[in-house]
Homo-oligomer: A and B are copies of this chain.
Protein backbone atom coordinates (compact mmCIF):
# COMPACT_ATOMS: atom_id res chain seq x y z
CA UNK A 1 0.00 0.00 0.00
CA UNK A 2 1.07 3.58 -0.58
CA UNK A 3 2.43 6.17 1.80
CA UNK A 4 -0.21 8.73 2.77
CA UNK A 5 2.26 11.48 3.70
CA UNK A 6 4.23 11.08 0.46
CA UNK A 7 0.96 11.08 -1.46
CA UNK A 8 -0.15 14.28 0.20
CA UNK A 9 3.10 15.97 -0.79
CA UNK A 10 2.74 14.76 -4.37
CA UNK A 11 -0.91 15.84 -4.51
CA UNK A 12 -0.13 19.56 -4.57
CA UNK A 13 -0.47 19.66 -8.35
CA UNK A 14 -3.66 17.57 -8.27
CA UNK A 15 -5.37 20.07 -5.98
CA UNK A 16 -5.74 22.64 -8.74
CA UNK A 17 -8.60 20.60 -10.22
CA UNK A 18 -9.45 17.98 -7.61
CA UNK A 19 -9.43 20.40 -4.66
CA UNK A 20 -7.18 20.66 -1.63
CA UNK A 21 -9.66 18.44 0.24
CA UNK A 22 -10.33 16.07 -2.67
CA UNK A 23 -13.58 17.81 -3.61
CA UNK A 24 -13.23 18.93 -7.20
CA UNK A 25 -13.18 22.63 -7.95
CA UNK A 26 -14.77 22.12 -11.38
CA UNK A 27 -17.91 19.99 -12.07
CA UNK A 28 -16.30 18.10 -14.95
CA UNK A 29 -13.66 16.63 -12.64
CA UNK A 30 -14.23 13.86 -10.11
CA UNK A 31 -14.11 14.21 -6.37
CA UNK A 32 -11.35 11.93 -5.03
CA UNK A 33 -12.01 12.25 -1.30
CA UNK A 34 -12.42 8.80 0.21
CA UNK A 35 -12.33 7.05 -3.16
CA UNK A 36 -11.25 3.41 -3.12
CA UNK A 37 -7.45 3.11 -3.12
CA UNK A 38 -7.35 0.20 -5.56
CA UNK A 39 -9.66 2.02 -7.97
CA UNK A 40 -7.47 5.12 -7.96
CA UNK A 41 -4.40 3.01 -8.76
CA UNK A 42 -6.27 1.33 -11.62
CA UNK A 43 -7.52 4.64 -12.99
CA UNK A 44 -4.16 6.40 -12.85
CA UNK A 45 -2.50 3.48 -14.61
CA UNK A 46 -5.20 3.49 -17.29
CA UNK A 47 -4.52 7.19 -17.92
CA UNK A 48 -0.75 6.63 -17.85
CA UNK A 49 -1.11 3.83 -20.43
CA UNK A 50 -3.45 6.02 -22.52
CA UNK A 51 -6.18 3.40 -22.18
CA UNK A 52 -8.59 5.99 -20.85
CA UNK A 53 -9.83 8.43 -23.44
CA UNK A 54 -12.93 10.53 -23.96
CA UNK A 55 -14.13 13.45 -21.89
CA UNK A 56 -11.21 15.29 -20.33
CA UNK A 57 -8.93 12.23 -20.33
CA UNK A 58 -6.15 14.00 -22.23
CA UNK A 59 -5.56 16.21 -19.21
CA UNK A 60 -5.03 13.19 -16.98
CA UNK A 61 -2.97 11.28 -19.53
CA UNK A 62 -0.46 14.13 -19.42
CA UNK A 63 -0.48 14.29 -15.63
CA UNK A 64 -0.21 10.54 -15.12
CA UNK A 65 2.66 10.21 -17.58
CA UNK A 66 4.89 11.92 -15.02
CA UNK A 67 3.99 9.55 -12.17
CA UNK A 68 6.09 6.59 -11.04
CA UNK A 69 4.45 3.42 -9.72
CA UNK A 70 5.30 4.63 -6.21
CA UNK A 71 3.71 8.02 -6.90
CA UNK A 72 0.54 6.28 -8.08
CA UNK A 73 0.41 4.12 -4.95
CA UNK A 74 1.08 7.07 -2.65
CA UNK A 75 -1.52 9.33 -4.27
CA UNK A 76 -4.12 6.56 -4.07
CA UNK A 77 -3.38 5.99 -0.40
CA UNK A 78 -3.64 9.72 0.28
CA UNK A 79 -6.98 10.32 -1.43
CA UNK A 80 -8.48 7.13 -0.01
CA UNK A 81 -7.49 8.31 3.46
CA UNK A 82 -9.45 11.56 3.26
CA UNK A 83 -12.67 11.48 5.24
* A30 and B40 alpha carbons, distance in the complex (Å): 8
* A55 and B46 alpha carbons, distance in the complex (Å): 7
Q: Which residues of B contact A35 (CB under 8 A)?
A: 30-31
Quick one: CB contact mask for A31-48 with B, threshold 8 Å, 1 for yes? 100111111001101100
Q: Which interface class (under 10, 10 to 19, 20 to 34, 35 or more) fits A?
A: 20 to 34
Closest to A29 in B: B39
Q: Which residues of B contact A29 (CB under 8 A)?
A: 36, 39
Distance between A21 CB and nearest chain B CB, rounded to angstroms: 13
Q: Say whether A55 contacts B43, CB under 8 Å.
A: yes
Q: Say whether A52 contacts B46, CB under 8 Å.
A: yes
Is A3 on the interface with B (CB-CB < 8 A)? no
